[in-house]
Structure 1
C-alpha cells in the first residue's frame, strides 16, 4: 500500500485529483521513481518508442525546443503524456535544471492500470482536455 504522503501528493496534482483512493494506490504501486542529476536529458525531442510519462516529485525541469525554453516544471507538474498516449515521437527536450525526482509510468503500466480501473481512462482524458483548452486559450491571447 502506498504511503499516505504519496497518496496526498498525487491527490493534489490535477491529473490525479479525481482518482479514487484505490486508483491512487494502484498508480503508486505501478509507477517507478527515477532520479536525475542536474543537466540530465530526461526526454529528447524526436525520440520514438520512449515510453515514459513523468510526474515531477521534486526539483525542476525545463522544456526546450532547440535552444528556446518553452517553460519550467516543478513538483506536481507532468510531461510526456502525448508521446505516452499517442505513441508519437517526443516533441521537445526535457532537461533537469537541478537534482530532480520523478514518478514514471510506462505506456504498458498505464494500459494495465486502465484495464483494471477503466474509469481512470475517462478521468485522464478529461484532465488532458482541460490542459489542451488552457494551452489553446494561452496561445490565442
Structure 2
C-alpha cells in the first residue's frame, strides 16, 4: 500500500493513535475499491464481514422506512469508517450503505483483521480499545436522541 493510504488510515478514528508500523500492517491486509454515484456498497440484511474506510468521497448510511422511503441516518466522508459492527458480531447489516458522492474505499475483511489481531496482541489492544470508545460514543448519541424524542413527544 502507498504512503498516502497509511497516512489516511492514521486519520481514521478507529486507528487513532496507532503507531506507524501498526498502520503499515493494517494497510497491508486491506484492498481498495471504487464506487460511482448511486452504487450500493451493501444493503440492510446482507451478511457483514467487511469494514470500509473512506479515502475519498461520501457514503450515505440509510434505512428504508415503510411508507416513507429512504431515511438517511448519516452521510460519511473521507476519514470515516462504516460497517465496523460486522467485525464484532455475526448479525446482518443494520442499514444500507449507498454512494452519495463517487468514492474510493479501503476494505478490511473480518478474517484478515482477526488473523492480524491474533498475531499482534499489542495492536489488537489498541484497535479494540478504539472500538470501545467509538461504540460508547455512539451509544451516548443514541441515548441523547432518545431522550430528546421522549421529551419532545416525538417518540
TM over 0.5: yes
Equivalence map 1:43-54=2 (5 Å): 43-48=42-47, 50-54=48-52
Normalised by the length of structure 2, the TM-score is 0.83
Q: Which structure: larger Rg?
A: 2
2:64 corresponds to 1:61: no
Tell me, what secondary structure is at the counterpart of 1:8? helix
Give CA-to-partner distance per residue, 1:15-46, whole Å, 9 cap, x none: 11222222111111110000011111101101
2:81 corresponds to 1:78: yes
Q: Distance in 1 between matches of 2:89 and 2:142?
A: 22
Deviates more, 1:30-39 or 1:13-22: 13-22
* 8 Å Cα contact 1:23-1:117 kept in structure 2: no
* 8 Å Cα contact 2:86-2:110 kept in structure 1: no
Counterpart for residue 133 of structure 2: 130
Deviates more, 1:69-78 or 1:109-118: 109-118
Tell me, what secondary structure is at the counterpart of 2:88? helix
Tell me, what secondary structure is at the counterpart of 1:121? helix
**Length, aligned pairs only:** 139
Unmatched 5+ stretches in structure 2: 65-69, 145-155
Q: Distance in 2 between matches of 1:97 and 1:45?
A: 17
Query: 1:120 deviation in Å?
Result: 2.4
Match of 2:124 among 121, 126, 135: 121
Tell me how large the CA RMSD over aligned residues is: 1.4
Q: Distance in 2 between matches of 1:88 and 1:119?
A: 27
Deviates more, 1:5-14 or 1:39-48: 5-14
Unmatched 5+ stretches in structure 1: none
Q: Distance in 2 between matches of 1:20 and 1:116?
A: 16
Runs of 4+ in 1 over 4 A off after TM superposition: none
Q: Distance in 2 between matches of 1:89 and 1:18?
A: 30
Counterpart for residue 31 of structure 1: 30
